[in-house]
Amino acid sequence: MSDKISVKEAGGRKIVLADSAAAMDESTKGDVFVDGSHCGINVGEMTLDTGAGAMIGNDAGMGKNDAGIAGLKFLDKHGIPAAAVSAMSAKIGNGRSTYEQGKISVVNEAARKLGVSAGMSAKEAADRLLESLVKSGK
């Protein structure tokens, strides 16, 4: 997949897929961004800086000291819902695989409060996050 594609829209918000978190920009502000990147601290910072409404990435096998998901806690501090799919369920670096085959392995508290939980499909999680963003109007 080159760059990013929108797969669903509701209330002026979208679910956007990309192979890399680096594709986040002003055009994805307020959207649910689903990518194939790890969820490290730098991805959390990108999510915050670009104003994405929510993010789903790959846990990349978690890594030493959970470095592969450190961005989830960072985003939680800013009230941004985020989750990661298991690296065993989706191809790393492939946003479509994350969305279509990914199974959520870990969520931050902001996402948990919106009904996202470990074990659900990334597609279901993205739908819940989109619905919540539309309802909140944030």
Pairing of strands 13-18, 54-58: unpaired
pLDDT category, 32, cuts 50, 70, 90? very high
pLDDT at 137 over 80: no
Q: CA torsion sign, 43 to 44 to 48 to 51?
A: positive
Mean pLDDT on 125-133:
96
Interatomic CA distance for residues 23 and 1, integer angstroms: 11
Give me the percent of the chain exceeding a pLDDT of 90.
89
Provide CB contacts within 8 A for 64, sequence distance 6+: none
- The pLDDT confidence band at residue 2, using thresholds 50, 70 and 90, is low
Q: Is the pLDDT of residue 77 over 70?
A: yes
Percent of the chain predicted with pLDDT > 70: 98
SS percent in the chain: helix, strand, coil, step 5: 40, 25, 35
3-state DSSP assignment of residue 87:
coil
* Residue 1, pLDDT score: 52
* Residue 107 · residue 73 · CB < 8 Å: no
How far is the C-alpha of 63 from the C-alpha of 16, rounded, in Å?
A: 26
Rounded to an integer, what distance in angstroms lies between the CA atom of residue 53 and that of residue 24? 11
pLDDT for 93 equals 94
Q: Quick one: pLDDT at residue 63?
A: 85
Nearest to 35 by CA among 50, 22, 51, 19: 19
